[in-house]
């Protein structure tokens, strides 16, 4: 199925409004499948770039689900579906803090630029969430590389484990969750400070600092 930008934009509008059909969901799935080629190209480039590099733990491929796409369209009323940048991508967890994240970021951006991809770096910070995102674009398709320090990954996984199905802790929370959200934001700040200096410590010392920060924040 060949879909024009106009068709995709109108599909996004219907998904956002909630007035969509099973045919619209089938069209959304077809649109998601158009990312297969760029997904494969980008992921293989990442793997070949990192094959001889130390200082990272794992990569996890990710393709945005139908529900996640609909939720994001609802959260961001001005976002057009063809311009959504994270439908395809991967997450890289770094065995260290900010310095290693910046080193890996420079390496990956250089690799993509050498193959004539358009590249943009974004330092994400919202509701306590922190990560470095690299947006790679080829043609009309985007691919998002999410770089997390070890601390940022610990924090994100903690939020995931505490969230309900609506992910309300990620996007504001209800009245009953505000105290917990405040603690998580304080923890994010502590982790950020630790990340700035972790290159001066061993990985084991770094992990211990994170554990100490968790105990301190949640014991209050």
Residue 111 and residue 182 in one domain: no
Average pLDDT over residues 79-99: 95
Residue 48 and residue 122 in one domain: yes
Residue 106 and residue 170 in one domain: no
Residue 66 and residue 170 in one domain: no
186 phi/psi in degrees, rounded to 5: -65, -40
Q: Can you read off the two tokens belonging to residue 192?
A: 């950020």
Residue 81 and residue 105 in one domain: yes
Average pLDDT value for the chain: 91
The number of domains in the chain is 2
Residue 18 and residue 30 in one domain: yes
pLDDT one-digit tens code per residue, 171-190: 555 666 788 888 999 999 99
Residue 108 and residue 132 in one domain: yes
Residue 28 and residue 113 in one domain: yes
The pLDDT assigned to 127 comes to 84
d(Cα 168, Cα 176) in Å, to the nearest integer? 11
Helix-helix angle 98-114:178-197, to 10 degrees: 80
Looking up residue 122, the CATH number of its domain turns out to be 3.30.460.10
The pLDDT assigned to 32 comes to 95
pLDDT one-digit tens code per residue, 28-86: 999 999 999 999 999 999 999 999 888 888 788 888 999 999 999 999 999 999 999 99
Containing structural domain, residue 13: 5-150
Residue 157 and residue 144 in one domain: no
DSSP 31-81: HHHTTHHHHHHHHHHHHHHHTT--SEEEEEEEE--HHHHHHHHHH-TT--G
Residue 12 and residue 117 in one domain: yes
Is the distance from CB of 192 to CB of 101 less than 8 angstroms? no
Residue 84 burial (10 A CB sphere; 0-12, 13-18, 19+):
buried
The three-class DSSP label of residue 129 is strand
The pLDDT assigned to 170 comes to 60
Percent helix, strand and coil across the chain, each to the nearest 5: 55, 20, 25
Residue 48 and residue 83 in one domain: yes
Give the residue from 119, 150, 181 where a domain finishes.
Answer: 150
pLDDT above 80: residue 113: yes
Element (H, E) at 132: strand 129-138
The pLDDT assigned to 180 comes to 85
């Amino acid at each position: 199925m060949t879909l024009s930008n106009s068709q995709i934009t109108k599909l996004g509008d219907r998904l956002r409004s909630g007035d969509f059909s099973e045919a619209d969901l089938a069209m959304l799935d077809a649109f998601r499948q158009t990312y297969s080629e760029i997904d494969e190209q980008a992921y293989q480039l990442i793997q070949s770039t990192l094959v001889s590099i130390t200082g990272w733990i794992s990569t996890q491929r990710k393709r945005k689900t139908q529900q996640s796409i609909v939720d994001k369209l609802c959260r961001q009323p001005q976002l057009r579906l063809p311009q959504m940048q994270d439908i395809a991508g991967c997450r890289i967890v770094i065995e260290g803090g900010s310095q290693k994240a910046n080193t890996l970021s420079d390496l990956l951006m250089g690799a993509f630029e050498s193959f004539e991809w358009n590249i943009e770096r974004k330092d994400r910070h919202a509701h306590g969430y922190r990560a470095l995102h690299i947006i790679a674009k080829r043609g009309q398709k985007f691919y998002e590389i999410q770089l997390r320090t070890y601390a940022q990954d610990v924090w994100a996984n903690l939020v995931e484990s505490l969230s309900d199905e609506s992910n309300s802790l990620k996007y504001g929370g209800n009245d009953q969750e505000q105290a917990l959200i405040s603690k998580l934001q304080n923890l994010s700040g502590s982790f950020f400070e630790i990340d700035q200096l972790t290159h001066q410590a061993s990985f084991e010392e770094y992990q211990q600092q994170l554990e100490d920060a968790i105990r301190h924040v949640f014991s209050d």
